[in-house]
Amino acid sequence: MIRPWTKNDLEAVQHVLWETWLDAYGSFIPRSDLETYFENHYNLDALTTLMATEGIDGLLAEVNGEVVGFARTTYDKAENRFTVTSLYVLPQHQGEGLGQKLLESAEKIAARYGADSVWLGVMEQNTRALEWYQRIGFTFVEVAPFVMGSTTVPHLIGYRPLKAEARGTAP
C-alpha cells in the first residue's frame, strides 16, 4: 500500500532512510559522514519542518502494516520542476515493485502540480539504483557534486517525462 506520510510516521521514515543508506552508500561514504548528514538533515525536527513545507510531499510504502519504503518530492512552482528528492526501499523489500509504485504515486502528484516530467538525482556509485532508473526510462543530463560530511560524490541529475496515465491523458 502507498499512502501519504503523517507526523506519526517520522521515526519509521528515519528507519527506512538509515537502513537503506547503509546498504546503498556504506561502501563509498564513511559511516561517520552518513551519521552527520542524517543527524543534520533527517532529525525529527527537520522532518517535521519538511512535512509542513508547501510543495513538499511524502509517500510511504507499507507491507503488512510496516513502513518499508519512502519517497519525498519537491515542487518548485517558479521553475515548474517536480523532483523526487528521496526514494528508498528497505533492502529486504527491493525487487517487490515498491519503488515503482512509489514513483507512480509521485508522478500523480507531479501531474496535479502541472509538471510534465519528474526529475531526480542518484549518486554515480549507487549503481543498482542508477541502472534501475535508466532501465525505467530516466535520462541523465547533468552531474553535480553531492556532499555528505567530508565526502563529495558525483550526483547524476536526470528526468523522465510523465506517463500519459499520470497526466490523466491515457491514449
**pLDDT tens digits for 75-117?**
999 999 999 999 999 999 999 999 999 999 999 999 999 999 9
The three cell numbers of residue 93 are 523489500
Note the pLDDT of residue 28.
95
pTM: 0.90
**Beta-carbon count within 10 A of 85 CB:** 14
| Structural domain harbouring 85 | 2-167
Q: What is the CATH number of the domain that holds 62?
A: 3.40.630.30
Note the pLDDT of residue 165.
59
**pLDDT tens digits for 139-166?**
999 999 999 989 999 999 999 999 765 5
**What is the number of domains present in the chain?**
1
Measured CA to CA, the distance from residue 32 to residue 142 in angstroms comes to 28
